[in-house]
Chains A and B, each alone.
Chain A
Amino acid sequence: MAREHVIGLEALEAKGWWKTHKWLLLRRASQLSILALFLLGPWAGIWLIKGNLSSSLLLDTVPMTDPYLFVQTLVTGHLPETAAVLGAVIIAVFYMVIGGRVYCAWVCPVNLVTDAAQWLRDRLGISTATRLSHNARYWMLGMTLVVAMVTGGVAWEMINPVSMLHRGLIFGFGLAWAVILAIFLLDLLVSKRAWCGHLCPMGAFYNLLGRASLVRVTAAQRADCNDCMDCYAVCPEPQVIRPALKGAEHNIGPVILDANCTNCGRCIDVCSKDVFRFGVRSNNSSINSPNAGSLSGKTEVLS
């Protein structure tokens, strides 16, 4: 009998430990260093950045404001000051270029929590039947805006686990840890990747923001795919892979265009055949060229 399939083992044997964990580690480094940057002020008195992910001031000059929160304040009927407008534009443009849900994978502190839940879920072999709709997040997004409009307050911020976790770490938790624990348990015991993959309205907003983003993961070498399914197993939004990876015969380009792709790069890590790489949206020729979508643009001669 064949040995049990271990996710990523094939890649580990083919590429070594570093190359199978490169993007994961870079992502963790990004998440933690952004958090550290915010904590440097309150903990060490070094104020490179003040505030939190909702709105902050970098080096006492550059304002940054969460565009989702900005839209919520607009909906309540308040027109914010220039600093917030500028801050929201800066952040919006940034994610419009590098991918909306890059926020989810590379910045958001809740990702650490839900990834931990998913890791534990895999380790304990928990599988649950509760299925949430992938579109629930858009309903959630609409709901938060409607509630903001009706109550005239930024109601979602009263329970938003994302800002609550970040603000909690920087300014003090109160009972916010309970909300974070609830998210962890939801993902662990109720439904797979329930929060980040199905419910979070922030993810939905950043998804919409990054609909036309430049930086995308591309299945450039999709001809080499050996159907090991490891990329589906590690992907937080597995439904985004198929059209790009298996689209050759339907004349669909190799670039993952689904805005729910978080550009986490885990598929790049875990693929023993190096099918995936980061690329740009425009290099999406459906002709199965091995270098379509390569960010570096260097060409290799087909042998």
Chain B
Amino acid sequence: MSNTTTNAARRRFLVDMARTATGVALFGVGLGFYARQSTALPAEALRPPGALPEEQFLGACVRCGLCVRDCPFDTLKLSELGDAVATGTPYFTARDVPCEMCDDIPCVVACPTGALDHGLTDIDDARMGVAVLVDQENCLNFLGLRCDVCYRVCPVIDKAITLDLQHNKRSGHHALFIPVVHSEHCTGCGKCEKSCVLPEAAIKVLPTRLARGEAAEHYRLGWEEKRKAGESLVPPDRERQFNLPEGVRYDYQGEGVIFEQGAAPTPEATPFDDDPLKTLNRGLEGR
């Protein structure tokens, strides 16, 4: 009798526990999926300087907003529920308020957990993203005008953005001053995007993963290697030798067959012929 009661109690206990555990587990799966999905940071949302890579950042940031509080320019915002950025985490939108790149980096100093890496002490080393001139069709400089605003506002002027001269084929006698971003120096502060004069910026700061490609690890640039080594690393081409009649030379990749004095080509020879062999043997016909 009492045994039956105990069994029933035990049974109810186990069922209750299983019920609770199942409910919570289902909830947890939902939460996990939601969390996984919100790791995709929208491209316009930039993390503060020194932010760890996004996956680590979401584990390290406690959503306290101390970086936001210590940002003197109200650049940083805390994401609210419903924003595309993970709730409670700090971000900024360059086109609204770019990062002013404070020398003392107060946001990083304020971070209690190191989600903003305290190893970042020189703001020029920050990599919040990379500026990309996304619209070459509308960029005024690409059209041959001298806007230059993105170049002039760049805090790392002449390093992160340079103006490279190109021939203006449209006018025929002007230069194009092409803004070129150098990712090696670009901090991703977004001043260029903020100040682009177009209604929609032609230059935008993108997360590095979107902004940049990556060369294969085994690629080597021959001219770089040559510069480093001080000499070419490949053996020089052997001098080519051709079996030619006397008074005739062959200039490989140049003029072709050259007749020295007294060995003039026949007057009827045409410069081009459908038969490549004839071109190669130009001047030799009838010999």
Contact = CB atoms under 8 A, between A and B. Distances in A.
A52 B21 CA distance: 31
A131 to B, nearest CB: 9
Given A80-B113, A80-B114, A176-B80, A167 B28 contact: no
Interface in A137-154: 139-140, 142-144, 146-148, 150-154
Contact of A147 (B28, B66, B88, B111): B28
Given A70-B62, A155-B31, A174-B80, A143 B24 contact: yes
B76 to A, nearest CB: 11
Interface in A163-221: 163-164, 167-168, 170-176, 178-179
Given A55-B62, A148-B59, A171 B113 contact: no
B61 A51 contact: no
Contacts of B19: 133
Contacts of B86: 153, 158
Interface in B67-110: 68-70, 78-83, 86-88, 110
B24 A140 contact: yes
Contacts of A41: 69
B23 interface: yes
A87 interface: yes
A136 B20 CA distance: 6
B80 A73 contact: no
Nearest to B28: A143
Contacts, number: 172
B69 A50 contact: yes
A234 to B, nearest CB: 26
Interface residues of B, number: 48
A135 interface: yes
A133 B16 contact: yes
Given A153-B39, A172-B80, A176-B80, A51 B24 contact: no
A163 B78 contact: no
A152 B56 contact: yes
Contacts of B52: 78
A76 interface: yes
Contact of B59 (A78, A136, A163): A78
Nearest to A83: B112
B63 A163 contact: yes
A13 interface: no
A71 B253 CA distance: 71
A70 B113 CA distance: 9
Contacts of A50: 66, 69-70
Given A150-B32, A155-B34, A80 B66 contact: no
Nearest to A55: B64
Interface size class of A (residues with CB under 8 A): 35 or more
Given A54-B62, A76-B60, A158-B38, A167 B88 contact: yes
A232 interface: no
A78 B65 CA distance: 18
B16 A146 contact: no
* Interface core residue of B16, B58, B62 (most chain A CB under 10 Å): B62
B24 to A, nearest CB: 4
Interface stretch (A61-69, A121-129, A252-260, A291-299): A61-69
Given A87-B112, A163-B88, A179-B81, A54 B60 contact: no
A170 B32 CA distance: 27
A7 interface: no
Contacts of B80: 168, 171-176
A144 B23 CA distance: 13
A35 B66 CA distance: 16
A143 B62 contact: no
B118 interface: yes
Contacts of A155: 31-32, 34-35
Contacts of A163: 63, 88
A133 B17 contact: yes
B62 A73 contact: yes
Given A136-B23, A171-B68, A172-B78, A151 B62 contact: no
A171 B65 contact: yes
Nearest to B32: A147
A151 B36 CA distance: 6
Interface of A: 41, 47, 50-52, 54-57, 63, 65-66, 69-70, 73, 76-81, 83-84, 87, 132-133, 135-136, 139-140, 142-144, 146-148, 150-159, 163-164, 167-168, 170-176, 178-179
Interface of B: 16-17, 19-21, 23-25, 27-28, 31-32, 34-36, 38-39, 52, 55-56, 58-66, 68-70, 78-83, 86-88, 110-115, 118
10 contacts: A55-B64, A56-B66, A80-B60, A135-B20, A136-B24, A154-B58, A154-B61, A158-B86, A174-B83, A176-B81
